[in-house]
Structure 1
Amino acid sequence: MKVGLVRHFKVKQAYPKGAFIPGRVVNEWFRTYDQADIESGSTDLSGIEWNKCYVSTLPRAVKTAETIFPGPITPMVELIEIPPPAFSERLRLPVLMWAVWIRLSMYFDRKTREEIKRARFRISEVFDHAFGNHTENVLIVSHAALMVFMREELIRRGFAGPKFKIAKNGELYVFEKPPC
């Protein structure tokens, strides 16, 4: 049995411009990012016959799955991205500092830690459902942050596969469970 993880194609949305970006602009950027279109692309599915495809319900993931998978896809709300923290509307930081803040929020922001805990639970539910018959190859199209936690759960369940810190857009990461 194989599991393929694919991050959605690159989103057509530029980062906010300016020296110091207010939190309200960053919050709005994330809201529009969820609805933004994607750049057309392709994914090498490594010649593997994928029997099922599960996908996040966010438009960027659905469009990617429809592009790369020839059969029917199964949208699952459990595969949506972990929401970003809510930022103070008045705080102003350079774009790079916002990126650092977002990364550190998983350690210091209580709400973000709760969202990560919920995401781990959602991933476990998806895998329990997807691996029901233990014989089909499953393709999952989702999001960068969630893929890190999916990888951890696959390893915990006895799968072997590649390491990555931030999954590349449109790239296939194959995990395989050795026969018992």
Structure 2
Amino acid sequence: MTVARSMKQIGLVRHHRVTEGYPTKGWISASDIEKWIERYDTSDIDIQPVELGQIDWTVCYASSMPRAVQTAKSVYDKEIIVTDLLREVPFPTIQSNLRLPFLGWAVLGRLAAPFSKRIQAEIKEANERIEVLLNQLMFEDDERVLLVGHGGMMILMRAALKRRGYRGPRFGHPRNGMLYLFEKEEPTC
């Protein structure tokens, strides 16, 4: 007896590039970073063509953040399921009177993350949201699922998909507007 198998495909797409660039003016404070985050979260995006691999996606989920919703609308012409489950992990901010270049704040945030209970709690909560979404997808019939979200979430999502037996590309910093395809063979009933 042979078991029929189907291929479950999950495509991850990071939102298009945000037009609000990174702060470049010299030394900035922690409050400057917080103001930049507010501008970044509401910024327009630079819509570019996205190659979706000639796949007929059966459903599309998008983070509820405006840049992800706009990106999803630019690449998927059917109904989009907007969800908070794909919202970005917040940019790690540090309360300090220091003034550093933006890159210095980014490095400091990365170095502080393993030691910050707040940042670790945000990452844990993001991983829990990913598990909720993947559990939902496991019980749906959709075989070709497109997920439009954010770079940090994509890194966590890739790890979760690998743990569940999906095959897909490695990436350190996902590119904006690029498809990362993950596949898994599943028995059909």
Same-fold status (TM-score > 0.5):
yes
Please give the per-residue CA displacement for 1:148-167, whole angstroms capped at 9, x wherever unaligned: 01000001111100000110
Write the letter of the residue equivalent to 1:7. R
Q: Is the 8 A contact 1:26 1:87 kept in 2?
A: no
Please give the per-residue CA displacement for 1:84-108, whole angstroms capped at 9, x wherever unaligned: 2333252211121111112223312
CA separation in 1, counterparts of 2:40 and 2:90? 12
CA separation in 2, counterparts of 1:142 and 1:106? 21
Query: Is the aligned partner of 1:103 residue 2:110?
Result: yes
Write the letter of the residue equivalent to 2:139. G
Query: Is the aligned partner of 1:20 residue 2:27?
Result: yes
Map 1:63-142 to 2 at 5 A: 63-88=70-95, 90-142=97-149
The residue number in structure 2 matching 1:152 is 159
Give 3-state SS (helix, strand or coil) of 1:55's partner. strand
- How many residue pairs end up in the alignment? 180
CA separation in 2, counterparts of 1:5 and 1:29? 26
Write the letter of the residue equivalent to 2:146. L
CA separation in 2, counterparts of 1:107 and 1:127? 25
CA separation in 2, counterparts of 1:16 and 1:124? 34
Query: Is the aligned partner of 1:143 residue 2:150?
Result: yes
Give the deviation of 1:135 after TM superposition: 4.7
The residue number in structure 2 matching 1:167 is 174
Q: Is the 8 A contact 1:85 1:111 kept in 2?
A: no
CA separation in 2, counterparts of 1:7 and 1:53? 13
Give 3-state SS (helix, strand or coil) of 2:38's partner. helix
Q: Give the RMSD, CA atoms, in angstroms.
A: 1.3
Identity of matched residues, %? 39
Give the deviation of 1:73 after TM superposition: 0.3
CA separation in 1, counterparts of 2:37 and 2:67? 13
Write the letter of the residue equivalent to 2:22. Y
Give 3-state SS (helix, strand or coil) of 1:70's partner. coil
Structure number with greater Rg is 2
**Gaps spanning 5+ residues in structure 2: where?**
1-7
CA separation in 1, counterparts of 2:54 and 2:28? 45
CA separation in 1, counterparts of 2:76 and 2:109? 32
Large movers: runs of 4+ above 4 Å: none
Write the letter of the residue equivalent to 1:114. A
Query: Is the aligned partner of 1:54 residue 2:71?
Result: no
